[in-house]
Amino acid sequence: MNTPRSFNDVNDLNAYWMPFTANRQFKSNPRLIVGANGMHFKLADGREILDGTAGLWCCNAGHNRPRIVQAIQRQVEELDYSPAFQMGHPKQFQLADRLARLMPGDLNKVFFTNSGSESVETALKMAIAYHRTRGEGQRTRLIGREKGYHGVNFGGTAVGGMSANRKMFGNLVTGVDHLRHTHGIAENRFSKGQPEHGVEIADDLIRLIELHDASTIAAVIVEPLAGSAGVILPPKGYLERLRKICTQHGILLIFDEVITGYGRLGEPFATNFFGVEPDLVATAKGLANGVIPMGAVFAQDKIYDAFMTGPENMVEFFHGYTFSGNPMACAAALGTLDTYEEDKLLTRASKDSDIANYWQDAVHSLKGLPNVVDLRNLGLIAGVELKPRAGKPGARAFDAFLQAYEAGLLIRTTGDTIALSPPLIIEKSHIDFAFDTIKTILKNLR
């Protein structure tokens, strides 16, 4: 097979419209990945770079893990595809069962999708339909949060709260309102782990209930920890308070765990980590280690049961995807769960573990460097917030991204925040390299 090793022919770059990418800038100076192994990507020029972002928060077990590769190879020879509707194959049931066992509480029903965006749409539709099945069809309103990111489909864009993602796309889904975000509370700057201040922001939900009346609200959706908008942590007690208000008013609580799921916080899910059980959980990314697109929505038993009422020959939930639970994705996810289990990855960065403490110390060692205005961390996540250049938001952090790439480290930037979310197999030597590299860059970045 002919693996392209360079971008010699400029015309080659024209056809591909790249997602969430500055296309013209990229194509003028492309960055091509041709291989990966463990903690590293291999570039077209032969260099290796440390993966500080687990791909896009998804390769939690690191790259090219043998169990996952073999699981897919075996599957493709055995059963390539089976129809997702009115037919099943064994691995769907095995996988759902294993996942339900990982998730705490009553979140025992699992619906498969192909991405985080699809998981979000699925959860939102489940919430609205659930109320209708119970005779509360007037509960259609969805509440999201400012700075929230719930993927790019219409429902997720509507409940999301990043204006760049919303402003081009018209009215989106109507009947949506937003809580305020919890970013930028001055007293929380440079907090280690969960910040102390801001629990009262959860009371925004009471304000929205007073405005719209609880009887019109189907669900509240939040990321337990917001990744895309720049690593925004929930203040202590905040998620607990949201849960309490939702319960009091018959509103479903949806956690979007697309980035927090599968060990990112040192527990299988943020639901475990924070000890707060939502009614629905949207996941994707780490489920199949980013190797094959896959998502899963977890629903409490009571939600599934509410649908199981009509004639038994009738479809109960008119929703699903051609590739829901497809054999290759299920095989990859089962191989992923085996890998997580064997390497104990889902709890590797648990609170006060050696690696979580080392990570936290490394993050906060950046305090005092030029333009660093806040540092945030939880589990194996870090947010390094830089002061924006006057009139050029995002430019300083993007320069840091380019310099890090040249120096052998892959980071993500959103606005002027550097976000780090490495594979959970990271060792101390990698952490040293990543933060030494960032330190050198920040010392000299203008």
- The CB-of-235 to ligand PXG minimum distance in angstroms stands at 18
The distance of closest approach from Cβ of residue 231 to ligand PXG in the complex, given in angstroms and rounded to an integer, is 9
Q: Please state whether beta strands 280-283 and 252-256 pair in parallel, antiparallel, or not at all (unpaired).
A: parallel
Nearer to ligand PXG among residue 116 and residue 263 (C-beta): 116
Enumerate binding residues for ligand PXG (CB under 6 A).
56-57, 115-117, 120, 149-151, 223, 227-228, 256, 258-259, 284, 412, 414, 419
Nearer to ligand PXG, 209 or 276 (CB): 276
Q: Among candidates 232, 286, 249, which has minimal Cα distance to 99? A: 286
Contact 84, 326 (CB under 8 A): yes
CB of 180: closest distance to ligand PXG in angstroms?
Answer: 18
Write down the least CB distance from residue 120 to ligand PXG, Å: 5
Q: How far is the CB of 147 from ligand PXG (least distance, A)?
A: 11
**Which residue number, 54 or 217, has a Cβ lying nearer to ligand PXG?**
54
State the minimum distance, in angstroms, from the CB of residue 270 to ligand PXG.
11
Q: Which CB, 146 or 209, lies closer to ligand PXG? A: 146
**Residue 51: CB minimum distance to ligand PXG, A:** 13
Our CA dihedral for 403, 370, 236, 203, rounded to 10 degrees, sits at -100
As measured in angstroms, the least distance from the Cβ of 20 to ligand PXG is 7
Nearer to ligand PXG, 204 or 256 (CB): 256
In the complex, least distance from residue 417 CB atom to ligand PXG, rounded to whole angstroms: 10
Taking CB positions, which residue lies at the least distance from ligand PXG? 116
What HEC string does the chain produce? Answer: CCCCCCCCCHHHHCCCCCCCCCHHHHHHCCCCEEEEEECEEEECCCCEEEECCHHHHCCCCCECCHHHHHHHHHHHHHCCCCCCCCCCCHHHHHHHHHHHHHCCCCCCEEEEECCHHHHHHHHHHHHHHHHHHCCCCCCCEEEEECCCCCCCCHHHHHHCCCHHHHCCCCCCCCCEEEECCCCCCHHHCCCCCCCCCCHHHHHHHHHHHHHHCHHHEEEEEECCCECCCCCECCCCCHHHHHHHHHHHCCCEEEEECCCCCCCCCCCCCHHHHHCCCCCEEEECHHHHCCCCCCEEEEECHHHHHHHCCCCCCCCCCCCCCCCCCCHHHHHHHHHHHHHHHHCCHHHCCCCCCHHHHHHHHHHHCCCCCCCEEEEEEECCEEEEEECCECCECCHHHHHHHHHHHHCCEECEEECCEEEECCCCCCCHHHHHHHHHHHHHHHHHCC
Structure tokens at 232: 């925004």
Residues 128 and 151: their CA atoms lie apart, in Å, by 19
- Closer Cβ to ligand PXG, 284 or 355, answer by number: 284
Q: In the complex, what is the shortest distance from the CB of residue 422 to ligand PXG, in angstroms, rounded to a whole number?
A: 13
Which residue's CB is nearer to ligand PXG, number 55 or number 62? Answer: 55
| Rg, the chain, Cα only | 22
Q: Which is nearer to ligand PXG, 363 or 419 (CB)?
A: 419
Q: Provide, rounded to whole angstroms, the least separation between the CB of residue 156 and ligand PXG.
A: 6
Tokens of 49: 């770079």
Which residue lies nearer to ligand PXG by CB, 79 or 172?
Answer: 172
**Strand 372-378 relative to strand 40-43: parallel, antiparallel, unpaired?**
unpaired
If the CB atoms of residues 218 and 226 are measured against ligand PXG, the closer one turns out to be 226
Whichever of 258 and 442 has its CB closer to ligand PXG, that residue is: 258
